[in-house]
Structure 1
């Protein structure tokens, strides 16, 4: 009798666990279906407006030697023409084990060796051989392994900001700006839409030129990351990824973007460490063939980069 009762209890427990597992599987399936639907809905709406050409580039990326995921971020000054130079060159690193986020900006006027083409400004590598040649150039000169790339042009930047931040991105504009940026900005704390934010990060007509421009670009990316975590939720992430996908040319899969986006959201506002290459004291401003360029001390810069990327906090 006791044995029969024991068997009945075991059967009930087994059925209960089966029910729990079935419910969990249904929830997971529902979440996946919902996420896919939101992703496709966002991408479909964005594709109707996007004019970005879907061109596939060769990119033989490798994993970072320090265990992080390095992404080559490129802002292109292309307006539809081929062989556009890189207007902005950055490397973003996400290290899942350390939970760190790092951002390096590369001055576009650095005079370096471009494999197969000789010495020139680093931003010409994109025009000469696409992101793969720029990857090789960064690897040869600065010993950085890059796994992914992402290219966004001016129009794409405007659309992405407007979609992700319909109320604008809050930025402290430090001075009046208008020269050669297509908009007029007044100083003060304000919310900038995509067009005005693009003007802000492109402005370079002040005493420090590109150096101040790089600082503003890093500031904007930090603010975008911080404000994104406060405005968005995990439920909105799939649709947002779908919205931005048509505007960005990248070899990153949707799953990679969702994974990194999820970690940003669940981890709160990220503490993004920044660096500029070349570092202070490791370059000279000079003129070569009539063009103003930066000649750099490669070994000193490589040492600074290694220290920056190997930091675990």
Structure 2
């Protein structure tokens, strides 16, 4: 009898542990369902916001991917309702998927460029003449730089995306008072900037540094947005951000591929971005052309050699 009683008692805690385990498992399943439901609702909300984008899908043929490095042509345009516009922002983001390192190269818009099929003009004229593909071909022709994908965003859409990702603003160290030709007034110091203010900061060029200063600020903005994207407190905004990006950002990716790329980036954790600007110091001079105006004439081979070394790829 005593052995039977002992056996019954020894079995009771195990049953309680099993019940407790089932309760925790059930709770986890419910949390997952709520989280997935929330994410889907936020994603659809973002999609709905971006139904009236100003930038249309473009025909684009990228270079074949070889190895772990993919290069993305990132363009910012100010359409203002016009049928054609020039690119204010031209960057190539090079992503090494083996180690999650990123290199960001900004190209000055006033570079005097040999545009295939056209007379030489400033680099930002290539998009005006024939869209993303011609700008991609111009960069590849000049530097031998392979470009695999593109992403194009209108500045108004940029403002909206920033406000979705970081409703409390993006922290930025504003190095001086800024207001001229940017439609906002910024004061020197560390501030949290909303979408319109952040865009104004990135576009300001009314100082001694001119476009070189603006390019440096654009790179600071990209770094700040990367930080916001990877901040745990902003993860709840990510589904809505990705949904809105489907309409606000024009790219050669399909919706499913865009989501896959974002998740792949986030899954690898911390992301370091090294930044550079073309032309590099000591490799250019200013010159005025009757058909193109004040332009930056660069030593192409010197800048090509720098790009090859900086990106870690062979440029033909």
Q: Give the aligned partner of residue 41 of structure 1.
A: 45
Q: 1:65·1:145 contact (CA, 8 Å) conserved in 2? A: no
Per-residue CA distance 1:78-110 (angstroms, 9 max, x = gap): 111112000110111222113211111000000
CA–CA distance in 2 between the matches of 1:36 and 1:292? 50
Per-residue CA distance 1:5-55 (angstroms, 9 max, x = gap): xxxxxxxxxxxxxxxxxxxxx99x9788875554333212x13xx532352
The list of structure 1 runs, each at least 4 consecutive aligned residues, that deviate by more than 6 angstroms after superposition, is: 29-34
The answer on 1:195 being equivalent to 2:196 is yes
CA–CA distance in 2 between the matches of 1:191 and 1:161? 12
Per-residue CA distance 1:246-290 (angstroms, 9 max, x = gap): 211111222332233223333334110111011111111121217
Q: 1:76·1:87 contact (CA, 8 Å) conserved in 2? A: yes
**1:36–1:143: structure 2 CA closer, same or farther, 3 Å change rule?**
farther
CA–CA distance in 2 between the matches of 1:186 and 1:119? 40
Q: Give the aligned partner of residue 216 of structure 2.
A: 215
Q: 1:63·1:69 contact (CA, 8 Å) conserved in 2? A: no
Q: Give the aligned partner of residue 277 of structure 2.
A: 276
CA–CA distance in 2 between the matches of 1:84 and 1:231? 37
SS of residue paired to 1:118: coil
Q: Give the aligned partner of residue 303 of structure 1.
A: 305
Q: Number of paired residues?
A: 283
The answer on 1:79 being equivalent to 2:80 is yes
SS of residue paired to 1:114: coil
Q: 2:106·2:276 contact (CA, 8 Å) conserved in 1? A: yes
- Higher-Rg member (1/2): 2
1:81-96 equivalences in 2 (<5 Å): 81-96=82-97
1:244 offset after TM fit, Å? 2.3
1:305 offset after TM fit, Å? 0.6
SS of residue paired to 1:243: helix
CA–CA distance in 2 between the matches of 1:62 and 1:232? 37
CA–CA distance in 2 between the matches of 1:256 and 1:298? 34
Q: TM-score, normalised by structure 1?
A: 0.83
Q: Give the aligned partner of residue 243 of structure 1.
A: 244
Q: 1:152·1:249 contact (CA, 8 Å) conserved in 2? A: yes
SS of residue paired to 1:43: helix
**1:196–1:54: structure 2 CA closer, same or farther, 3 Å change rule?**
closer
1:151-166 equivalences in 2 (<5 Å): 151-166=152-167
RMSD: 2.4
Q: Give the aligned partner of residue 23 of structure 2.
A: none
Residue segments in structure 1 that go unaligned for 5+ positions in a row = 1-25
**1:76–1:204: structure 2 CA closer, same or farther, 3 Å change rule?**
same
Q: Which moves more between the two structures, 208-217 or 244-253?
A: 244-253
Q: 1:74·1:90 contact (CA, 8 Å) conserved in 2? A: yes
CA–CA distance in 2 between the matches of 1:32 and 1:309? 38
Q: 2:228·2:234 contact (CA, 8 Å) conserved in 1? A: no
Residue segments in structure 2 that go unaligned for 5+ positions in a row = 1-28
CA–CA distance in 2 between the matches of 1:172 and 1:263? 30
1:80-119 equivalences in 2 (<5 Å): 80-119=81-120
Q: 2:91·2:105 contact (CA, 8 Å) conserved in 1? A: yes
